[in-house]
Structures are given as structure tokens and as C-alpha cells.
Structure 1
Amino acid sequence: MHYAISTTWGPTDTTRAAIPFIFAATALEAGDSVTLMLFHDAVSLAVPGVYENVVPCGPPAKFSEVFSHPNAEIIVCKPCAQVRGILADNLREPSRMGGMGEFYQKVAQSDCKPVAF
């Protein structure tokens, strides 16, 4: 199964920022693949040094597990990032810039389940 996960939460709400990554890590541990689309405040999580300082209240952070997993694709909304001064060169590997069209292509696949946070 493939999960296409969209999120807008970032460092301004650390617990909400962590929840999509906890879901993604759980899916990856089960052998599934994920695409995580970062919008709005969530785009900053793809900048090196940011998620390391995001400490959720309660659940354990799973940011590094998702960013380092070979079955996780992380797409950063290009317009959302650019308006915040984040360029493609500023992104943590393996994140990349993309847009809604790419997220739609993932969701449109027959074996994909979309999840929004």
C-alpha cells in the first residue's frame, strides 16, 4: 500500500507537526511506502537543523526515521517554500521541491490512500 500524506503543520505547533511523521513512520515500519507533501508551515521541517529542534508534547518524534527511510518520498511545496525564502538548495536530502500536480499524481494511483493532517 502507498500513503500520500499532506500536512501544513510545522514548528509553530510541534505536536501537530509530529503526528503526520508518526503515521508515516508507522506505515513504513509495516512495509508500506509513503509520499509526504509538506505545505504551509510544514515546509520548514525539510530545512536542515529544523526538525531536530521540534519537540512534540507527548508522542515521540519520528522525523529522522521518515527522512532517512528509502520508501519515503518527501515533497516540499515550492510556492510555500519560496514565499518563506526557502530554496531547493536549502532542503535536507532526500526532500525536493514539487507542487500539487505531483501530489495529485500520487493520490490518483489505484494503490494509494490519501491522508491529510
Structure 2
Amino acid sequence: MQKVFFLVSCGPDEQSKATRAFQFAKLAAERGSLAGILLVDDAVYLAKPEIADRVRAVTGDSLADHAGWLREHVSGLPFLVCKPCCQARGVTVDDLDPLWVLGTGGAAMDVLIQDGVTTLSF
């Protein structure tokens, strides 16, 4: 079965796009096809609960709802937040929702180079 890894670089200033990334990750997880997520650049702000709670698509979909579903229903997959991106933006590990762990592009690449894994970028 094909697995999908999500690379998200859009932050809270692109609310619809960011929410759709989480929605599609949830859809992949529901089908057993999620390989993981890496938040980079301004997307690292989405790992902060107080930010995620305010991000919505124009349709009203809530990023926090999708992230909450992933936290409750998915385990054993990498939910990574780019450590250098966090450091550059003053985001600390204490700021992050428990779903997320600090990681690097190298950790994401370790997942991406596995057979049967593709990526979607938002």
C-alpha cells in the first residue's frame, strides 16, 4: 500500500491551505496510508495549540480538530516540527502540542526514502 508523508510549510497566514494539509493527513490516516508529517518554515507555528485553535479554512473546517483527531487516533508515526525552523522563530519544545516532536529534515528523509512512500507538500 502506498503511504503519504506530508511536508507542510504554510503557516497561520495561509489558514485554508494549512487546514487542508491537516485534513488530507487525517484522510490518509483513516485509510491506513499516513507515513508522517513534517512542519517547516512558518508551519512550525501550527504546532502551538493557541495558534492551531484559531486556524480555519474558509469553509469553517478547524485545523485543531484535524490535529486532535490525529493525536487521538494515530501513534507510532513521525509528527515532526523542524528544530532549526523553531529556533529561528523562538518556538520552544514547551510551546508544542504533545502530538509534535522536534525533528530535522534528515529524520523526514529517512521516512521518505522508504519504498512505497510519496510526499504531498502544502
Does TM, normalized by the shorter one, top 0.5?
yes
- 1:89 matches 2:94: yes
Amino acid at match of 2:23: I
For residues 27-72 of structure 1, the C-alpha deviation after alignment (integer angstroms, 9 at most, x for no partner) is 1111223311001111011112211111211262323222333245
Within 5 Å, give how 1:14-29 maps onto structure 2. Answer: 14-29=15-30
Within 5 Å, give how 1:68-79 maps onto structure 2. Answer: 68-71=72-75, 72-79=77-84
Q: Which moved more, 1:10-19 or 1:28-37?
A: 28-37
TM-score by length of 2: 0.86
Partner of 2:32: 31
Within 5 Å, give how 1:1-117 maps onto structure 2. Answer: 1-58=2-59, 60-61=61-62, 62-71=66-75, 72-117=77-122
Which has a greater percent of helix?
Answer: 2
Q: Output the CA distance in 2 between the equivalents of 1:50 and 1:68.
A: 19
Total equivalences in the alignment: 117
* Contiguous gaps of at least 5 residues in structure 1: none
TM-score by length of 1: 0.89
Identity of aligned residues (%): 27
CA RMSD of aligned residues (A): 1.6
